[in-house]
Every structure is written in structure tokens, then in C-alpha cells.
Amino acid sequence: MPSTNQAGGRDLPELPGIEKDIGHNPARFLDWDLVGHADRKGLLKSRIRGIDKIAVCRAYWAAEHHPEVGPTDGPREGVLRLLDQREEFLRERGERPERLMFGPRRPPEYYATESDDDGDERPRTAAAKLSRMRSERVATDGGEVDGE
């Protein structure tokens, strides 16, 4: 019995301008009936959440409005809402750079905490913390700190 999800089993609407701009055809993800198909809906949601450029988000928005993409009754409100939310997120947090540098990177500034901003550069290894605790310990019997 043939599967309804075979890769070569359907003709996608051609969107040459969009495909040239973003490198793929968004109809591949958008041209599905989502009602009653949780897997397809989940794939589309994941794809939209993975968009990291505003231009790609707008291309998906334009593809959803294309008359040959999706259901015959027009663009789906839920898909457009997800795309609008993603674009808002990208405007707020910023797009991913074209090329990320190799190796460890500092986290974005919105991950910064107050303790990161105080300028107190203390070592964060367990041995360094123990050493710091021992050096800060006060003698409680009126004498010297242990080992001194």
C-alpha cells in the first residue's frame, strides 16, 4: 500500500522568486492539509520556530498567501500568527549572524545576570571556591585560622 507521505508523490507549487531568495521552496512545508495531521502540524511549527532571518519569515508569509499553497479557502490564520510571532521574536532578539565564529562564544547579553555585571572575576571551579571559602573563614575561637 503506498504511503501518503512519500517525498516524490506530490507536485509543489513553484515559487521561483522566493526559492531564489531564501534557497528553498516554503511550499514544501506549507502545502499540507494540517487538520487532523498532528505530525505535519508539528513539523510546520518546528520549521517556523527554526527560522532565524526576518526575510525568510516574510517569504513564508508570502508563500502562505500564494493561491496555490495550502487549502483553497485562503491563508491559514494560525500559520500567519506563528509567522508574525516569529518575526516579532527576531526583531526583539536579533537575527542569527551569517557566519558564527568557531569555538566558544559569550552568551547573548540578554542572558547576563547581575552577578555577571559586578566585575568580580572569581574562579568558578570547585577547588577555587573551596580555597576562597577557606581564606575568607574567620577564626571563631579567637585564635588564628586553621593552618596558619
pLDDT of residue 18: 82
What distances in angstroms separate CA 147 from CA 53, 72, 134, one per listed residue?
59, 82, 10
Rounded Cα–Cα distance for residues 91 and 49 (Å): 14
Q: Is 10 left (phi over 0), alpha (psi -120 to 50) or beta?
A: beta
What distances in angstroms separate CA 1 from CA 6, 8, 37, 39, one per listed residue?
12, 16, 19, 20
Nearest by Cα to 5 from 45, 49, 48, 39: 39
pLDDT of residue 88: 93
pTM score > 0.85 for this model? no
- pLDDT tens, the chain, 148 aa long: 455 555 555 566 677 788 888 888 887 778 777 777 788 888 888 889 999 899 999 998 988 887 777 667 778 888 899 999 999 999 998 888 776 666 666 666 766 666 545 555 665 788 887 777 777 765 566 666 555 5
pLDDT of residue 57: 93
